[in-house]
Amino acid sequence: MDSRATTLAQSVLARCDELGQCSSEPGRITRLYLDEPMRAVHVRLSEWMHQAGLSPHVDNAGNCIGRLRGHREEKVLLIGSHLDSVPGAGRYDGVLGVLIAVAVSELLADHQLPFHLDVIGFSEEEGVRFKMPYLGSAAVAGRFDPAWLLREDEQRITMRDAMSSFGLSPDDLDSCRYHTDQVIGYIEPHLEQGPVLERSGQPLGVVTGIVGQSRLQLAFRGEAGHAGTAPMAGRRDALVAASAFIQEVRNTALNIDGLKATVGSMRVHPNTPNVIPGSVELTLDIRHLADDVRNHGVETLVAAGHRSAEAEGCTFEVLEETSQHSVNADAQLMSMLTDAVNECCAGPVLLESGAGHDAVIMGQHFPMAMLFLRHPGGVSHHPDERVELDDVAVAIEVLGRYVLRLAEQFTHQQSV
């Protein structure tokens, strides 16, 4: 193991701890799109990028990007992950990948790469604030939908106003775009967020593909009433209908191999102990590596929603549905990454990602590869998230070798 990799890994973990302090909630990590803690993250990350020899800037989607200039201008290799978090997050989801990317560029600062190396800290992967994930990577890939600017957060602030008050220009998102002919590829280091690497005793894994995802906003509408005087017979209790539906979600997912389906949030109206719930709004997250199986899951569960509503005299509606199809890693980038891992540690595990990443968006527009780090305990989106120092060090060493291999290949291709 290169001793510099270990030293760099120590600073990566210390920096994850420091960024873990940038939170909008005392006592837990919550960092949302363009909130004040994100501004503090940009300040610290830009300093670290400077120290690593990168020239940083924040683009109009709020992505924090540092460039290690190559000796040729035509092409760029992108490497990074996201800076935002879910509420009550761990210290590593997203930022670990960005800080490993900074460490890799520090390791390579003395090399004259034949392409630029851009380290990207994406601004919004989780989609918590405006219920729309992948905002930063959508802007980089040139697929940001201007209609999203009208979306409002919990405080009724529009995305447009949030961007303007952060000092960004929401009408100039084109300036964020990288074009396919300039990008060699996008590489994302990330915690596995699951048990596979730990069970196999391997520090690193190479991702073969990322599951597709459907996110639905659903509503059950019944009739509110007095909890003490309304007869039990004939009630149209929206929460009873929703509860039957939630059980159906679990049963359906258990019967379709590989399907993941989760009701993660629910709002009861008027949410008062002595009032029969008149309406319930909830979210449904459905995932599978095969898009047709995922779409079948969506159809099956929407039908189950109508049945559960009808049984309780309620109505059921799909308020909104967004979906991302599954994405495969680029075969050549994946194979070269596997070779680089093989040189540094036991042969990597090849595995699919059940979690979504900015690589879902980037992989639809550019060649993509992901490197997973072992996740002790496998618990993520939770303060118990952990990662091993040695695994971070070997990831830095692998990615350093990998970028140099890509540089050799690029130089060879240019010479023929």
94 interacts with, out of Mn ion, ligand HGY, none, CB within 5 to 8 A per kind: Mn ion
Query: Is residue 358 at the binding interface for ligand HGY, with CB under 6 A as the rule?
Result: no
Amino acid 158 reads: T
Query: Nearer Cβ to Mn ion, position 35 or 237?
Result: 35
Structure tokens at 138: 């959508």
CA–CA separation, 365 and 186 (whole Å): 10
| Residue 356 in the binding site for ligand HGY (CB under 6 A) | yes
Which residues, including other chains, have CB under 8 Å from residue 43's CB and lie 6 or more apart?
none
Which residue has tokens 């730990």?
198
Q: How far is the CB of 62 from ligand HGY (least distance, A)?
A: 17
124 near Mn ion, judged by CB under 5 A: no
Write out the binding residues for Mn ion, residues 312-371 only, by CB under 5 A.
Answer: none
Least separation in angstroms between CB 273 and Mn ion: 34
Q: Which of 58, 100, 249, 355 binds ligand HGY (CB under 6 A)?
A: 355
β-strands 368-373, 183-191: how paired?
parallel
Cα separation, 264 vs 104, whole angstroms: 36
Residue 356 touches which member of ligand HGY, Mn ion, none, C-beta under 5-8 Å by kind? ligand HGY
Could you say whether residue 222 binds Mn ion (CB under 5 A)?
Answer: no
Shortest gap between Cβ of 351 and ligand HGY (angstroms)? 15
Cα torsion angle, 229, 231, 234, 236, sign: positive
Give the pair of three-digit tokens for residue 274.
């002595």
Integer angstrom CA distances of residue 385 from 90, 97, 150, 377: 5, 14, 34, 8
Which tokens in the block code for residue 81? 């992950």
Q: Segment contacting Mn ion (CB under 5 A): 61-69, 94-102, 105-113, 175-183?
A: 94-102
3-state secondary structure of 191: strand
**Which residue has tokens 């995932």?**
287
Among 93, 192, 248, 385, binds Mn ion (CB under 5 A): 93
Least distance between Mn ion and beta carbon 282 (Å):
20
Segment 120-149, which members bind ligand HGY (CB under 6 A)? 125-126, 133
Instruction: Give me the least distance between CB of 26 and Mn ion, in Å please.
Output: 21
Q: How many residues bind Mn ion (CB under 5 A)?
A: 2
> Is the CB of 279 or the CB of 353 nearer to ligand HGY?
353
Among residues 94, 133, 212, 277, the one that binds Mn ion under rule CB under 5 A: 94
Burial class (CB in 10 A: 0-12, 13-18, 19+), 131: middle
372 close to 192: Cβ distance less than 8 angstroms: yes
Please choose which of ligand HGY, Mn ion, none residue 106 contacts, taking the beta carbon within 5 to 8 angstroms, the exact cut-off set by kind: none
Q: Which is nearer to ligand HGY, 124 or 237 (CB)?
A: 124
Packing angle of the helix pair 3-19, 389-415 (nearest 10 deg): 110
Binding site for ligand HGY (CB under 6 A): 125-126, 133, 355-356
Binding site for Mn ion (CB under 5 A): 93-94
